[in-house]
Amino acid sequence: MNKINNLDKSDKKALGKFGEEAAAKFLSRRFYKIIAQNFRKRSFEIDIIAQKGKILCFIEVKTRSSDKFGTPKEAVDFKKQQKIILGAQEYLLQNDWDGEIRFDVAEVYAHKKNEKFYVDKINYIKNAFDNSF
């Protein structure tokens, strides 16, 4: 297994896209209904919006090859959380939703072999943060 080190900008972008797709598949297999991916407005983006029963989940996906520089969840700092919350508020203004909401983080660990990415594991963290400032 080759660890992903010193990726150039296009490789990092490809790794991020790979991680988001892997997380979406992971969620679908667990009966989440994917509502939107890469919901973008102004200065924010929500990687995945998914519904599980009566809960609407706003999911940030972080993809890494190791915990060498901290866990992926640790990269979802307060500033990033605020942007996700603003994005969720914008989504909710545009769409009719009367149920619960939740903010989750999907940690995707991956490696690259023969120019292709592979998932090592996915940690899914429900209620990773809340919408209180």
Identify which of 84, 90, 82 has the alpha carbon closest to the alpha carbon of residue 61.
Answer: 84
Q: Residue 61 and residue 19: Cα distance in Å, rounded?
A: 7
pLDDT at 1 over 70: no
pLDDT recorded at residue 2:
46
Angle subtended at Cα 122 by Cα 67 and Cα 7, rounded to the nearest 5 degrees = 50
Q: What is the pLDDT of residues 40-64, one digit of tens each?
A: 987 889 999 999 999 999 999 999 9
Q: Which two tokens stand for residue 106?
A: 């999907």
Q: What is the pLDDT of residues 15-40, one digit of tens each?
A: 889 999 999 999 999 999 999 999 99
Q: Identify any residues that bridge with 45 across adjacent strands, giving them in sequence order.
A: 40
Question: In the predicted model, what is the mean pLDDT of residues 1-23?
Answer: 74
pTM reported for the whole predicted model: 0.89
SS3 84: helix
pLDDT recorded at residue 51:
97
pLDDT at 96 over 70: yes
Q: 69 falls in which pLDDT band (50, 70, 90)?
A: confident
Q: What residues contact 84, with CB distance under 8 A and at least 6 apart? A: 44, 46, 58, 60, 76, 103
Q: What is the pLDDT of residues 71-82, one digit of tens each?
A: 899 999 999 999
Q: Residue 8: how many CB atoms within 10 A of its CB?
A: 8
Q: What residues contact 90, with CB distance under 8 A and at least 6 apart? A: 41, 42, 44
Identify which of 88, 77, 74, 108 has the alpha carbon closest to the alpha carbon of residue 36.
Answer: 88
